Amino acid sequence: MENVIEIKNLTKSYGKSRGVVDVSLKVKEGDIFGFLGPNGAGKSTTIRSMLGFLKYKQGEIKILGLDSVKDHEKIMENIGYMPSEAWFYPAMRVSEVIKYAADVRGGDYTKEAERICELLKVDTHKKIKELSLGNRKKVSIVCAMQHRPKVFIFDEPTSGLDPLIQKKFFGLINEYVKEGATCLLSTHVLSEVNKYCKNAAIMREGRLTMLDSPKIDDESFLKFYEDEEA
Partner 1 sequence: MKRIFLGEMKLNLKTTLLWSFVVGILGFVCTMMYKSMQGDMKAMADMFSNMGAFSDAFGMSTLSIATIEGFFATEVGTVHGLGGGMFAAILAIGILSKEEEGHTGEFLFSLPVSRIKVIAAKGICVFLSLIFFTIICALFYALGFVMLNEEVPVKELVIFMLMHFIMNVEVASICFALSSISGKNRMGLGIGIAMMFYVYDLIGRVVPSMKDYLFLGPYSYTNASEIFAGKEISKEALLVAAVVLLLGIVFAFFYYDKRDLAS
Q: By the criterion CB under 8 A, which residues form the site for partner 1?
A: 14, 44, 48, 51-55, 72-77, 79, 81, 83, 85-91, 97, 100-101, 103-106, 140, 143-144
Nearer to partner 1, 104 or 230 (CB): 104
Say if residues 137 and 160 touch (Cβ distance below 8 Å). yes
- In the complex, what is the shortest distance from the CB of residue 105 to partner 1, in angstroms, rounded to a whole number? 6
In the complex, minimum distance from the CB of residue 182 to partner 1, in angstroms, rounded to a whole number: 16
Q: Taking the complex as a whole, how short is the minimal distance between the CB of residue 54 and partner 1, in angstroms?
A: 5
| Least distance CB 213 / partner 1 (angstroms) | 31
Of 140 and 199, nearer to partner 1 (C-beta) is: 140
CA distances from 102 to 80, 97, 106, 107, 147 (A): 12, 9, 6, 6, 7
- For partner 1, the closer of residues 156 and 199 by Cβ is 156
Quick check: 35 and 185 in contact, CB under 8 A? Answer: yes
Distance CA 180, CA 133 (A): 30
Residue closer to partner 1 (CB basis): 93 or 198: 93
Give whichever of 53 and 218 is closer to partner 1, judged by the CB atom: 53
Report how far residue 77's alpha carbon sits from residue 210's, in angstroms, rounded to the nearest whole number: 28
Q: How far is the CB of 154 from partner 1 (least distance, A)?
A: 12
Do the strands 32-36 and 199-204 form a parallel or antiparallel pair, or are they unpaired? parallel
Sheet holding 58-63, edge to edge: 17-28, 3-14, 58-63, 66-67
Distance CA 89, CA 79 (A): 21
